[in-house]
Chain A
Amino acid sequence: MSKAKISVSNLKLWYGNNEALHGIDVEFQAKKVTALIGPSGCGKSTLLRCLNRMNDRIVGCRVDGNVLLDGNDIYAPDVDVVELRTNVGMVFQKPNPFPKSIYENIVYAPQIHGMVDKTGMDELVETSLRKASIWDEVKDKLHEPGTALSGGQQQRLCIARTIAVKPDVILMDEPCSALDPIATAKIEELIDELKSEYTIIMVTHNMQQAARVSDHTAFFYMGDLIEFGNTSDIFTKPQQQQTEDYITGRFG
């Protein structure tokens, strides 16, 4: 395997007194798509949210262990979460564009981070939207509200918005679960294009989706990482009984 972009070692997480992750060790490869699968409540979304410290805001949430991004511990005391999140972007389950224009949705983050001056804005908007394969659909209505788009378009707008910050890693938390099959197909196609430039880690409930788009797959169960490996291996010859039971639909 090539060099790890993110490596997680012995990661434990508590919500209050409830231990939700019991010592996870996993490495995510650069410029690959890794799918996190498992039944509801298994900890896959929790792990995902650890990777850009979105869990910080949850009251009573405590983390122990190491998460290294390019060899640097993201939980070290001098780490600025804001900087971290510009490197590790996130796309959420439900499309959540800001109730502003499409243009403003894209330029918001680059503006607050001072990444681009006024003259570069238009160009940034176009490249971001193009990369998210939505430019042709919205180029004539850039100043209309993002919330007026269809669900699939909104999700691609959210991806474009994330790309505009130029992150290395994009986390996707069930990005297609609120979308219809056609919109889902478009997002999957997009993910396939994006992996040439970005490290993508996605949570999904849909095993066909994991099989279709990911290079690696991690199976979680009850807060433990049960199995991790190449997607083709996991789906054809799983090493663990639990993994096999899950992917063959015996539970979950």
Chain B
Amino acid sequence: MSSPSNLKRRYRADKRFKLYGIAAIAFSLCFLTFFFVDIIGKAIPAFEQAYIQVPVTYNEALKSNYNKAIPKAYRRLVSKAFLRTLPQKLEAHPELLGTTQPEWALANHRVDQFLKQHEGHGLKKKYRSKVEQLYQEDKIEFRFNANFFSRGDSKMAENAGVLAAVMGSVLVLLITILVAVPIGVMTAIYLEEFAPDNKFTQAIEVNINNLAAIPSILYGLLGLAIFINVMGVPRSSALAGGLTLALMTLPVIIISTRAALRSVPQSIRDAAYGLGASNLQVVMHHVLPLAFPGILTGSIIGLAQAMGETAPLLIVGMMAYIPEAPSSILNAATVLPAQVYTWSSESMRAFEERTAAGILVLLVVLLSLNALAVYLRKRFEVRW
């Protein structure tokens, strides 16, 4: 018999052990909260952008030098992205010539960051009082930053947006789906329904498990060496990126499709075989439709993984400066995570909040995709 004091000690040890578990969970949850609060806090300012009211004089000089359209005092406060549109505007509306109009112009990122009171805004001392005065007079106001969603990348932070990167991501993922899903599903069908049980089949299975564990950056090396250097796919193109990610996603899709196929009960196959359905008919008419929700879920998860992937895409050159959405899969493109990466290495303070905002967009899409996968799994889960 153990003495009561010994028992007490053992119970204390028991409690402590459970506490370690709670602490581990709490640590993870705290980190998750801290992480989201930090990212969202950094991102929110990016959704507002300063606009400044300036008198624009439409004169002949503007056609050759757009800086001449506004008074000198404003030139350092207004974004070039606004000024360079003026010559076209004058061409489209010749009646404006010789007039002076008050117009709301996109403010320079320094003005924007200064008014948001961010450290490292970079606005020179001599402009600060002027900006504050304009802000008091309501000649500067903050508006929803629609440019962030309607523009591509730009060297002018105030004009930079995620549109080109989002379009790039869509193109890349489209290629990834079109290549990886059919091949992955067919591989899984072969392994589950057709393959003879021999050494070669086992080799394929071992190989797929290994592929799933290979670091993504090595897929980048494959993409660079095979797709770009040997097959001549243009560097930085959505095609190069999409094919690389397709190979990377393949094991995920194969593994989840096999699980889905395996969950279809043998009795359904027996029933169909017993009625004289052929091998292919059993798969196409019965097994595949029943496994479809599982395949869909697995594909969405694989897709979400591919969407957040950056490293292999850097290797195939998808971190180029892309101000316009790509028009074809052979043109240079960038993707959302790569855009986040390039912005994060920019020194201008305004890019930091844009990086965070880009991250927020990425996270919202990814978490929605994952939630969709969970929902589909719950919705179509069949108990046999």
A: residues with CB less than 8 A from B are 52, 54, 57, 59-60, 82-86, 89-92, 94, 96-99, 108-109, 112-113, 158, 161-162, 165
Is there an interface contact between B382 and A99, defined as CB atoms closer than 8 Å?
yes
Is there an interface contact between B270 and A96, defined as CB atoms closer than 8 Å?
yes
Residues of A within 8 A of B33 (CB): none
One digit per residue, 1 when the CB lies within 8 angstroms of any chain A CB and 0 when it does not, for chain B 113-130 equals 000000000000000000
Complex alpha-carbon distance, A60 and B196, angstroms? 10
Is there an interface contact between A96 and B275, defined as CB atoms closer than 8 Å?
no
The residue that B273 contacts in the complex, of A85, A91, A98, with Cβ under 8 A, is: A85
Residues of A within 8 A of B290 (CB): 99
Is there an interface contact between A83 and B276, defined as CB atoms closer than 8 Å?
yes
Is there an interface contact between B275 and A92, defined as CB atoms closer than 8 Å?
no
Is there an interface contact between B270 and A165, defined as CB atoms closer than 8 Å?
no
Is there an interface contact between B276 and A109, defined as CB atoms closer than 8 Å?
yes
Residues of A within 8 A of B374 (CB): none
The residue that A112 contacts in the complex, of B268, B274, B281, with Cβ under 8 A, is: B281
Q: Within the complex, what minimum Cβ distance (angstroms) separates B293 from chain A? A: 12
Q: Within the complex, what minimum Cβ distance (angstroms) separates B285 from chain A? A: 7
Is there an interface contact between A162 and B382, defined as CB atoms closer than 8 Å?
no
Complex alpha-carbon distance, A114 and B99, angstroms? 81
Complex alpha-carbon distance, A99 and B285, angstroms? 11
Is there an interface contact between B275 and A89, defined as CB atoms closer than 8 Å?
yes
Most buried by A among B197, B270, B271: B271
Q: Within the complex, what minimum Cβ distance (angstroms) separates B268 from chain A? A: 6
Q: Which residue of chain A has the shortest Cβ distance to B269 in the bound complex?
A: A57
Instruction: Please provide the chain B residues from 12 to 48 with a CB less than 8 Å away from any CB of chain A in the complex.
Output: none
Complex alpha-carbon distance, A232 and B69, angstroms? 113
Is there an interface contact between A112 and B285, defined as CB atoms closer than 8 Å?
yes
Q: A59-B197, A98-B286 are in contact. Are A158 and B271 (CB under 8 A)?
A: yes
Instruction: Please provide the chain B residues from 279 to 303 with a CB less than 8 Å away from any CB of chain A in the complex.
Output: 281, 285-286, 290
Count contacts on B: residues with CB < 8 A to the other chain.
19
State whether the Cβ of B134 lies closer than 8 Å to any Cβ in chain A: no
Q: Within the complex, what minimum Cβ distance (angstroms) separates A94 from chain B? A: 6
Q: Within the complex, what minimum Cβ distance (angstroms) separates B245 from chain A? A: 35
Residues of B within 8 A of A54 (CB): 270, 273-274
State whether the Cβ of B202 lies closer than 8 Å to any Cβ in chain A: no
Complex alpha-carbon distance, A94 and B285, angstroms? 21
State whether the Cβ of B278 lies closer than 8 Å to any Cβ in chain A: yes
Residues of A within 8 A of B281 (CB): 112
Q: Within the complex, what minimum Cβ distance (angstroms) separates B81 from chain A? A: 58
Residues of B within 8 A of A60 (CB): 197
Is there an interface contact between A112 and B271, defined as CB atoms closer than 8 Å?
no
Residues of B within 8 A of A112 (CB): 276-277, 281, 285
Q: How many A-B contacts are there with CB distance less than 8 Å?
A: 61
Residues of A within 8 A of B271 (CB): 92, 96-98, 158, 161
Complex alpha-carbon distance, A137 and B290, angstroms? 27
Instruction: Please provide the chain B residues from 242 to 274 with a CB less than 8 Å away from any CB of chain A in the complex.
Output: 265, 267-268, 270-274
Q: Which residue of chain A has the shortest Cβ distance to B270 in the bound complex?
A: A92
Q: Within the complex, what minimum Cβ distance (angstroms) separates A108 from chain B? A: 7
Instruction: Please provide the chain B residues from 175 to 209 with a CB less than 8 Å away from any CB of chain A in the complex.
Output: 196-197
Q: Within the complex, what minimum Cβ distance (angstroms) separates A46 from chain B? A: 14
Residues of B within 8 A of A59 (CB): 196-197
The residue that B275 contacts in the complex, of A57, A83, A99, A165, with Cβ under 8 A, is: A165
Q: Which residue of chain A has the shortest Cβ distance to B281 in the bound complex?
A: A112
Complex alpha-carbon distance, A213 and B152, angstroms? 79
Complex alpha-carbon distance, A158 and B268, angstroms? 11
Is there an interface contact between A162 and B276, defined as CB atoms closer than 8 Å?
no
The residue that B277 contacts in the complex, of A82, A83, A94, A96, with Cβ under 8 A, is: A82
Is there an interface contact between B267 and A161, defined as CB atoms closer than 8 Å?
no
Complex alpha-carbon distance, A91 and B270, angstroms? 9
Residues of A within 8 A of B270 (CB): 54, 90, 92, 96
Residues of A within 8 A of B276 (CB): 82-86, 109, 112-113, 165
Q: Which residue of chain A has the shortest Cβ distance to B193 in the bound complex?
A: A57
Q: A54-B273, A59-B197 are in contact. Are A96 and B285 (CB under 8 A)?
A: no
Is there an interface contact between B275 and A161, defined as CB atoms closer than 8 Å?
yes
Is there an interface contact between B277 and A109, defined as CB atoms closer than 8 Å?
yes
Q: Within the complex, what minimum Cβ distance (angstroms) separates A116 from chain B? A: 14
Q: Within the complex, what minimum Cβ distance (angstroms) separates B383 from chain A? A: 11
Instruction: Please provide the chain B residues from 348 to 384 with a CB less than 8 Å away from any CB of chain A in the complex.
Output: 382
Q: List 23 A-B contacts (CB under 8 A).
A: A54-B273, A54-B274, A57-B273, A59-B196, A59-B197, A60-B197, A82-B276, A84-B276, A86-B276, A89-B275, A90-B274, A92-B271, A92-B274, A94-B267, A98-B268, A98-B271, A98-B272, A98-B286, A109-B276, A112-B281, A161-B271, A161-B275, A165-B275
> What 5 A-B pairs come out closest when comparing CB atoms?
A90-B274, A85-B276, A96-B267, A109-B275, A86-B276
Q: A92-B267, A92-B270 are in contact. Are A162 and B275 (CB under 8 A)?
A: yes
Q: Within the complex, what minimum Cβ distance (angstroms) separates B58 from chain A? A: 71
Is there an interface contact between B285 and A89, defined as CB atoms closer than 8 Å?
no
Q: Which residue of chain B has the shortest Cβ distance to A97 in the bound complex?
A: B271
Is there an interface contact between B278 and A82, defined as CB atoms closer than 8 Å?
yes
Q: Which residue of chain B has the shortest Cβ distance to A171 in the bound complex?
A: B274
Complex alpha-carbon distance, A52 and B286, angstroms? 20
Q: Which residue of chain A has the shortest Cβ distance to B286 in the bound complex?
A: A98
Q: Which residue of chain A has the shortest Cβ distance to B198 in the bound complex?
A: A59
Complex alpha-carbon distance, A86 and B278, angstroms? 11
Q: Within the complex, what minimum Cβ distance (angstroms) separates B38 from chain A? A: 48
